[in-house]
Amino acid sequence: MGIQEHAAVEVAGFFQSLSIIKDGFASYTYLSIFESSSGLHLHSLISSLFLFAGVSEAGRLVALIAGSGSSVLLYIFIKDWFSTKTGILAGSLVWIHPLFIRFSSRWYPESLGILMTLAVMHAVIKDIDEEGRRYYFLAICLLSLAITNHLWEASIALPAAVAYYQTKKIRRSATIIGTTIVVIIIVELIKSYQPSVTSHFQTRSVFYHPEVLLTPNWVFHWAWGGNLFPTDIFFSIYYMDNTCRDYINDITNYLGMEKSGRSGCNDNRLVH
């Protein structure tokens, strides 16, 4: 299967970071969490710090740093288990994987998720090998933080829990599972404040080009398990038309897109 570019995801990530800079966490009340399929915008939150500092490619910089960190962490893993030469080889060869290169060079949250999950397992293994609780608490903190990035990171709880279970650390194994469940519930509760599960980027397309709803590709794609339901579409169109159109213009003007000629857009909030 070929690897596809997802420009909409990068635009959405930029929009998320820009919105966090402009409105802080108030942006969670109008910004759709599904615009980059992330848990709580951890990647966009970190990217917003660089974007605020004037780095226009902030999200890509974060992705590259995370990818590099993953390579280093993989080297440490393999070095401890086998040898230094094997560790160097493993940390280097990961860069020939096309998906890893893609994730580490685009405004995507995946490379940060890879780094976070590797860090969780590194902390778990260190905790098993050493006395004390510092790595145990570090693993819990990293796991909780990782889940807020893209939500799929919660899957790392299974191998972590199994590792603890096999070393007779049953309580810690149960704590890993319990923490994962609690954090997922918290993330879902925060996500419930979102106006819709629909991407505003997709909603904008529907709003200005409603004929797309009649195309076979749209109908059959979303009919087979898509997460963009009619209620989401029309609720988001209504919401955008009444409260969010100034933010849509912010991002389109910042990226140099043609500004809509429709009435009602607030041009006083354009980004310069």
Q: pLDDT tens digits for 113-151?
A: 999 999 999 999 999 988 788 999 999 999 999 998 888
- Residue 272's pLDDT is 33
- Residue 223's pLDDT is 44
pLDDT in tens, 2-55: 445 667 677 778 888 888 888 887 777 666 544 444 567 788 889 999 989 988
pLDDT in tens, 216-270: 655 555 444 444 444 444 444 454 454 445 555 555 565 554 444 433 343 333 3
Which of the pair, 224 or 156, is modelled with greater confidence? 156
d(CA 176, CA 245): 42
pLDDT in tens, 172-198: 999 999 999 999 888 888 776 666 544
Say whether pLDDT at 84 is over 70. yes
pTM: 0.69
